């Protein structure tokens, strides 16, 4: 990767990773084009903004949709319930608001928002280039913040393999409990189901491996019926996430000559909780520091220093923790030990 002043940067994708990175760069005086035609939009998401994520975007606490998550309930596959009052300030939010406010902040900082879909990216040659329906442009650096099906990652030869992906089946409906409560149901196919209650609506979903997609779809229908959610009041979605148990994938580079990947595009999603907003923000923070240092290739060490150890731990233990005997053991321990319960809420 070229080392030295970077004049022109394209960030593809204005989710949390792209919006946060573009704003940080523009505030430091870098010229940034941020490509994303989707706003305003609601991204399929549970909407949990963890305490780790809030450290990067404390202003999110003032979003109109923000509900403080106060109570966690875990339901075990053998019929027990474990309840914990949360000590750390996680929020439930709308992605339309969170991502929209980050984009607005980026534009206020001087980012040029191009509401254009990027159709092709070329990373070989002297200067990386991209194409939209409006034409072709060259840059010093193209950042892929374009989510789990990233075009930039594909151009860099890093498209995820099916076994590195998870499947989410979910949607939004009327509240199913007190605002600020999060209910997790374990025992579902190397994953879990969730119900997150906000004042005006609930977010309900189920996550597991992509290879279990059909079984997840069937199990989710049963789950919805058990919660008595009428289809007419439920807006469903299906989506993929990076959900890997492949350690070798983590060893792959996340940047190279003229390109760099952040957030879901880089495959950064917690393999145990399936949460990715904090890693989108953390990787954007590491990328901004690397680019502003004039040595973008230092991104590789920076993201590994910041959260690499947690990712390696999660990837190595995902299948072990997701297996039914292990899940049952873990949840029985949680029931016995309030201290462990508090730590469990830390990873949610
Ligand atoms: C159902 C579901 C529930 C989840 N729940 C949670 C949760 O509760 N908490 C949590 O922390 N994480 C959750 N996650 C994970 C979280 O949503 C992602 O990790 C996070 O959105 C990643 O942010 P990002 O900025 O990397 O990508 P994204 O948020 O996916 O943003 C990518 C952006 O790129 C744009 N884009 C894509 N292609 C192009 C293109 N060619 N040209 C221009 N723009 C493009 C898209 O329009 C999009 O706006 C959930 C994921 C799913 C699927």
Per residue in 171-230, pLDDT (tens digit) is 999 999 999 999 988 765 567 899 999 988 999 999 988 999 999 999 899 888 888 887
pLDDT of residue 27: 97
Ligand 1 atom closest to the Cα of residue 279 is: 19
pLDDT of residue 340: 59
With a 6 Å cutoff on the Cβ, whether 140 touches ligand 1 is no
What is the Cα gyration radius of the chain?
20
Residue 322's Cα: distance from chain center in Å?
20
Measured CA to CA in angstroms, residue 74 lies from 84, 91, 214, 337 at distances of 8, 18, 25, 14
The DSSP result for 280-345, as a single string, is HHHHHHHHHHHHHTT-GGGHHHHHIIIIIHHHHHHHHHHHHHHSHHHHHHHHHHHHH-HHHHHHHH
Q: How confident is the model at residue 78 (pLDDT cuts 50, 70, 90)?
A: low
Measured CA to CA in angstroms, residue 333 lies from 110, 186, 227, 330 at distances of 51, 14, 27, 5
Ligand 1 mutation pick, 11, 19, 280, max ligand atoms within 8 A of CB: 280
Ligand 1 atom closest to the Cα of residue 205 is: 1
Going by the DSSP 8-state scheme, the letter that residue 159 receives in this structure is: P
What's the maximum distance between 2 C-alpha atoms anywhere in the chain? 62
Q: How confident is the model at residue 348 (pLDDT cuts 50, 70, 90)?
A: very low
Per-residue pLDDT of 82-107, as tens digits, reads 787 766 779 999 999 999 999 999 99
Contacts of 344 (CB under 8 A, 6+ apart): 72, 74, 84, 334
Of the listed ranges 49-63, 64-78, 145-159, 330-344, the least confidently predicted one is 330-344
For the chain, give the mean pLDDT.
Answer: 89
With a 6 Å cutoff on the Cβ, whether 263 touches ligand 1 is yes
pLDDT of residue 52: 93
Q: Are the CB atoms for 259 and 142 separated by under 8 Å? A: yes
CB atoms under 10 Å from CB of 83, counted, come to: 13
- Give percent above pLDDT 70 in the chain: 89
| Average pLDDT over every residue of 241-247 | 90
Distance 331 CA to ligand 1 centre (A): 29
With a 6 Å cutoff on the Cβ, whether 98 touches ligand 1 is no
**How big is the CA angle at 159 (ends 169 and 193), to the nearest 5 degrees?**
20
| Average pLDDT over every residue of 3-24 | 91
pLDDT of residue 2: 46
Q: In what order do the strands lie in the sheet with 8-12?
A: 112-114, 31-35, 8-12, 141-144, 259-261, 255-256
Ligand 1 mutation pick, 164, 171, 275, max ligand atoms within 8 A of CB: 275
pLDDT of residue 229: 82
Residue spans of the domains in the chain: they are 8-347
Q: Does the structure show a pLDDT above 80 at 264? A: yes
pLDDT of residue 167: 94
Q: What's the CATH architecture for 8-347? A: 3-Layer(bba) Sandwich (3.50)
With a 6 Å cutoff on the Cβ, whether 18 touches ligand 1 is yes
């Amino acid at each position: 990767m070229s080392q030295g002043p970077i004049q022109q940067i394209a960030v593809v994708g204005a989710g949390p990773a792209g919006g946060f990175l573009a704003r940080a760069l523009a505030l430091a005086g870098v010229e940034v084009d941020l490509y994303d035609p989707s706003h305003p939009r609601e991204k399929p998401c549970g909407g949990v903004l963890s305490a780790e994520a809030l450290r990067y975007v404390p202003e999110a606490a003032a979003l109109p949709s923000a509900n403080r998550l106060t109570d966690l309930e875990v339901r075990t596959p053998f019929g027990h319930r474990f309840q914990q009052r949360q000590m750390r300030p996680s929020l439930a939010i709308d992605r339309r608001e969170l991502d929209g406010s980050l984009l607005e902040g980026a534009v206020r900082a001087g980012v040029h928002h191009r509401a254009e879909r990027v159709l092709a990216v070329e990373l070989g040659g002297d200067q990386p280039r991209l194409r939209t329906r409006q034409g072709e442009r060259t840059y010093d650096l193209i950042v892929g913040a374009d989510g789990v099906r990233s075009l930039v990652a594909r151009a860099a030869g890093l498209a995820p393999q099916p076994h590195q992906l998870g499947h989410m089946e979910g949607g939004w409906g009327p509240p199913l409990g007190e605002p600020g409560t999060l209910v997790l149901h374990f025992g579902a196919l190397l994953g879990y189901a969730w119900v997150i209650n906000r004042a005006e609506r609930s977010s309900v979903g189920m996550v597991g491996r992509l290879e279990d997609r059909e079984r997840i779809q069937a199990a989710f229908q049963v789950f919805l019926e058990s919660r008595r959610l009428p289809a007419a009041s439920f807006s469903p979605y299906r989506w993929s996430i990076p959900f890997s148990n492949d350690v070798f994938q983590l060893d792959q580079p996340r940047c190279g000559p003229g390109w760099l990947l952040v957030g879901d595009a880089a495959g950064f999603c917690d393999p145990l909780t399936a949460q990715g907003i904090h890693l989108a923000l953390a990787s954007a923070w590491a990328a901004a520091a690397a680019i502003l240092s004039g040595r973008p290739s230092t991104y590789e060490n920076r993201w590994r220093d910041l959260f690499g150890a947690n990712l390696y731990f999660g990837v190595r233990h995902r299948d072990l923790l997701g297996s039914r005997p292990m899940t049952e053991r873990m949840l029985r321990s949680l029931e016995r030990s309030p201290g462990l319960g508090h730590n469990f809420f830390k990873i949610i």
